[in-house]
Structure 1
Amino acid sequence: MRKRFLIILTIVICLMSIATFALSYIAAKESIEQLILERANTRLSMIVQGFSNIANDIDIYSYINFSHESISITKDSFSVFQYGTSRLDEESQKVTVIKATKGGYNFTLNVDLEAETGIYIAPFKRIIITIAAVFAFIFAVAGILFINSVVEPISCLAKSMAKITSHNLRERIPIPKRKDEISQLIKTFDSMLDDIEGSYTRLKTFVDDMTHDIVTPVQILEGYRQLIERHGKNEMIIDEYLDVSKIQLYRLKEMTTSLKAAFLVEKRRRVEFADASEITMRNVAFYRTLYTNIHFDASVKKAVRLPIEAMDFERIENILLDNAVRHGAEGGRIEIALNENELIIRDFGRGMAKPDAAFDGVPKFPEEDGLSEGAGIGLSIIKRFSEEYGFSIDLQSTPGSGCQFTIRFPER
């Protein structure tokens, strides 16, 4: 890019220098020709006046430039006086003829305008060439400074961009001290890299955790399959296997949905109002069917509509209910309350060790029973939804006393 700019700059300088010289030369030549003709007319007028007045003693020879001019005075086709260079071709287009008549005398002054102009314009040529050279030098210096100040940072930016891959997203471009569009472009690019790095890190962590989480239900299903193979078609084992399969397959379905959502482009959605009452009643009925040994105490206000897409609200509720089931007390109780602007889900299980950091995607539940894997994944999804839809999340938890999640939407 720099080489291309230098070539273009050189061409522009040459063209500008030629144009400057040509225009200046033409203007100077026209001015000199006009001045020569004016002086020639003046001299001829003085000759006419002096020749017509006998009292005046005029030296005609002193008014004529012998090298490039000639004068002739005639009367009635008779030559009275003639003086000047014999080399002058009076029929040439380069010769300018000036005529005057007085007292029956015809005065003719022939001027070789091109030759006489050449004498005067020679110094102007040197001046014009010097000015054009100075102008070209100034323009070249300004162009090089422009290239160094604009093209060089862009070239560095392009080289730095080429080095950045998914393996070195921490790479940043140094921001120049000057405050111009280039520095603003670099700041914007670095800010974009920060967003990309954050999204890539969150996505990688999410996929790693999700992959780990999928292993558990698959291992459970595989264990029951092997149990059936060893003990034959025992109806009690088959019934238990079907119950477990129902739960684990539901979990796999939820994980798949979450995994797909992780690859969606993050953008502000058009706000819709979900029928929160209907969704909550449907979810409670579903969980009661899945987990018959857990008591679901639901208090749902009718006709509650919240500013969120129905699918997203259902995902949030399923994440909280699933966490309550997984980390609540065995055969215990889960409370669900839906009011005008808030959803409350409470369990009475183990609680969280660090509730203040529950939404960063890292599990915070105690691990003594091996069921804590992936516990923070769903909560990080809820946090993303809170940033998108503008609701607040309140978590109250103490290890051994359970958790209470409160999702609160702004009042309308």
Structure 2
Amino acid sequence: MQIRTRLTIQFGLLVSGILVVSFMAIYYFTYLNTVEDFYDRLRSKAVSSAELLSEPKIDPQLLKVFDRSNRNLIYNENILIFNERNRLIYSNTDSLSIHVSNYWLNEIRRADQIRYRDGDYYVVGIYNKYAFGKTVVVLGAQDLYGQANLDNLRTMLAIIFLFVTAIVAFAGLVFSQRALLPISRVMNEVEGILPQNLSTRLEVPNQQDEIGRLTTTFNKLLDRIEYAFRIQKTFIANVSHELKNPLTKMSSQLEVSLLKERTQEEYRTTISSVLEDIQELSQLSNSLMELAKVSENQREMLTDRVRLDEILWDTRTNLSQSNKTYKILYAIEELPEEDTWLEIIGNATLLRTAFINLMENGCKFSDNNSVLVQLIADQKSIRIEFSDTGKGIVAEDHNLIFQPFYRGINTANVKGSGIGLSLVERIIKLHNGSIAILPNQPSGTRFVLEFLHF
């Protein structure tokens, strides 16, 4: 069901419900007023009849004639007057339509005045006391006039209800169509946006209403989609370039070797160079797989409680053994009061990968192949700094250095794929940490990691 139809139905049901409740209230209170008014007229007529009959000079037959000539919109009235012995002393008709028992007569004397229904008849009973005696007057009649007015009112309310409901349904359909027209326009514009024209943005007529906010949200979503597509294209282009270089080098060396006979030493040199390129290609593919695996949403990978000082020490030992020229200085400025201040919930393998990249970068870009690792821990957070003495990273590259395959202007003479820092940033964010780049004095770069305790 379309929203326009649903809104029309809901609006129609709401207005119809209000009309039903209102009309029922009107009819109910009109009915009460009609009944009360008729009982008042019956009571007045009963009192008048009793007073006339109490006069000694008034003949009962004359009173009957008077009753027939003065109905006052009281139809089929039955006037009954009883004495103290419950004997009927006056009746205005020979055919009674109401039934009066001794019980009701005694109730009238006890309460002085009562009223009740007897089929279609409204009945009032009055205990009349005057100088010559006491009588009970019972007057019953049909309110045909009031019933006709109630029937007319019910018919009129039903017609008004149907007429107003039809108008409301039509008006709801028109106004819902007008209200949803901007959404239809937005839908048509969104359908026209293809991967080839992701730079297109929706027009925002009014940023204050809901449609304007929805359009703004769509534009922000398009910004993120365009950025993702751009990153994907850049990533694919960089991957193609990085894969093409070692493959081209290997192919060229092998083709040159096949042009003529070579000495055993020349073949050995060529094979060693090709193996080096293969290792570079293997390292690149492993980095790409690790980069694809690590995401901020993969919190299920964080299963253990790990100590960062132990991971740093193991990483330093392994990296020093694999490359004897690297010098990794490790320092803890102040021992924490509690060992738990050095622990976080994380994945030791991923953290070791991040620390290796930062240590290796520090050693590669320092003139003396050294990096200083400092650890500071307190009750609130753990802070780790990696400081090198290289040329440093220019300020313009600080916002770009964590993008895959991006390499700064000072890294042209050092081998690398530009994936390491991007992988480090993802691992740190996965562990609810932060990474920042600061200049090192007097030269070099300082990477600052911070993990908060929760």
**TM-score band (shorter)?**
0.5 to 0.7
- 5 Å matches for 1:157-196? 167-173=196-202, 177=206, 179=208, 190-196=219-225
Given candidates 387, 394, 397, the residue that maps to 2:438 is 394
Mapped partners of 2:90, 2:440: distance in 1: 129
| Aligned match of 1:357 | 397
Q: CA RMSD in A?
A: 5.2
Inter-CA distance 337–282: structure 2 relative to 1 (3 Å threshold):
same
SS of residue matched to 2:242 = helix
State which of 266, 271, 280 in structure 1 corresponds to 2:316.
280
Contact 2:120 2:142 in 1 (8 A): yes
5+ residue gaps, structure 1: 289-295, 398-402
* CA contact 2:79–2:137 (8 Å) conserved in 1: yes
Letter in 2 for 1:342: E
Conserved? CA contact 1:206–1:377, under 8 Å? no
Counterparts of 2:423 and 2:282, CA distance in 1 = 16
**Structure 2 contact 186–202 (Cα < 8 Å) conserved:** yes
Q: Report the residue type matching 1:318 in the other structure.
A: N
Match of 1:408 in 2: 448
1:210-255 Cα offsets, whole Å, 9 max, x none, are 2211111122233343345455685434543453344333332332
Q: Which moved more, 1:90-99 or 1:30-39?
A: 90-99
- Where does residue 33 of structure 2 map in the other structure? 31
**Counterpart among 48, 68, 71 of residue 64 in structure 1:** 71
1:7 to 5, 9, 31: 9
Q: For residues 250 and 356 of structure 1, what CA distance do their matches in structure 2 show?
A: 32
Contact persistence 2:315–2:355 (CA under 8 A): no
TM-score relative to the length of structure 2: 0.63
Once the two structures are overlaid, the 10-residue window that deviates more, 305-314 or 48-57, is 305-314
1:319-367 Cα distance to aligned partner (Å, 9 max, x none):
7747976x89xxx86333434443234558xx98x66326524444389
Partner residue of 1:254? 283
Q: Given the two structures, how large is their TM-score scaled by the length of structure 1?
A: 0.68
Query: Do the aligned residues in 2 keep the contact of 1:221 with 1:245 (CA within 8 Å)?
Result: yes
The 1:200–1:66 alpha-carbon spacing in structure 2 relative to 1, beyond 3 Å, is: closer
Partners of 1:277 and 1:367 in 2: how far apart? 27
Change (3 A) 1:81 1:384: closer
Structure 2 Cα separation of the partners of residues 213 and 54 of structure 1: 131
- Alpha carbons 2:296, 2:426 under 8 Å: kept: no
CA distance in 1, matches of 2:81, 2:428: 111
Residue pair 2:15, 2:168 contacting (<8 A) in 1 also: yes
Provide the rounded CA distance (Å) in 1 between the counterparts of 2:213 and 2:320. Answer: 52
Alpha-carbon contact 2:5-2:173 (below 8 Å) kept = no
Aligned-pair distance for 1:203? 3.8
Counterpart residue number, 1:400: none
Look up the match of 1:311: 350
Pick aligned residue for 2:120 from 85, 89, 94: 94
Equivalents in 1 of 2:355, 2:186: separation in Å? 42
- CA 1:101 to 1:277, structure 2 compared with 1: closer, same or farther past 3 Å? closer
Partners of 1:385 and 1:184 lie apart in 2 by 35
Q: Secondary structure at the match of 2:296?
A: coil
**Greater mean deviation of Cα atoms: 48-57 or 2-11:** 48-57
Q: Does the alignment pair 1:240 with 2:242?
A: no
Partners of 1:236 and 1:209 in 2: CA distance: 35
How far apart in 1 are the matches of 2:185 and 2:421? 42
Q: Which amino acid aligns with 1:48?
A: A
For 1:83-114, what per-residue CA distance to the aligned partner results, in whole angstroms no more than 9, with x for missing partners? 69x9x97799323344567769775534122x
Which residue of structure 1 aligns with residue 239 of structure 2?
Answer: 210
% identity of equivalent residues: 16
Check if 1:17 corresponds to 2:47.
no
- The change in CA–CA distance for 1:219 and 1:192 in structure 2 (over 3 A counts) is same
Could you tell me which runs of 5 or more consecutive residues in structure 2 were left unpaired when the two chains were aligned: 100-117, 334-341, 376-383
In the aligned structure 1, how far is the partner of 2:419 from the partner of 2:141?
101
Per mean C-alpha deviation after superposition, the further-off stretch among 31-40 and 47-56 is 47-56
CA distance in 1, matches of 2:352, 2:228: 23
Tell me the distance in 1 between the aligned counterparts of 2:362 and 2:279. 14
Q: Is the 8 A contact 2:123 2:141 kept in 1?
A: yes
Counterparts of 1:297 and 1:366, CA distance in 2? 20
Judge conservation of contact 1:343–1:406 (CA < 8 Å) in 2: yes
Give 2:142's aligned amino acid.
D
What do residues 58-83 of structure 1 show as CA deviations (whole Å, max 9, x unaligned)? 75456533662334557898885536
- Give the counterpart letter for 1:206 in structure 2: F
Residue 311 and residue 67 in structure 1: after superposition, are their counterparts in 2 closer, same or farther (change >3 A)?
Answer: closer
Q: Is the 8 A contact 1:323 1:375 kept in 2?
A: no
Q: Would the aligned equivalents of 2:42 and 2:140 in 1 still touch at CA under 8 Å?
A: no
Q: Secondary structure at the match of 2:369?
A: strand
Asked if 2 retains the 8 angstrom alpha-carbon contact of 1:203 and 1:262, the reply is: no
CA contact (8 A) 1:210 1:377 kept: no
Indicate conservation of the 8 Å contact 2:437/2:446, yes or no: yes
Displacement of 1:36 in angstroms is: 0.6
Structure 1 CA distance for aligned equivalents of residues 358 and 276 of structure 2: 14
Please give the alpha-carbon distance, in whole angstroms, between the structure 1 residues aligned to 2:343 and 2:239. 29
Distance in 2, Cα, partners of 1:227 & 1:178: 66
**Whole-angstrom distance in 2 between the partners of 1:207 and 1:343:** 31
In structure 2, do the counterparts of structure 1 residues 93 and 68 end up closer, same or farther at CA, with 3 Å as the change threshold? same
The aligned counterpart of 1:344 is 387
Moved more, 162-171 or 206-215: 162-171
What is the Cα deviation at residue 51 of structure 1? 0.9
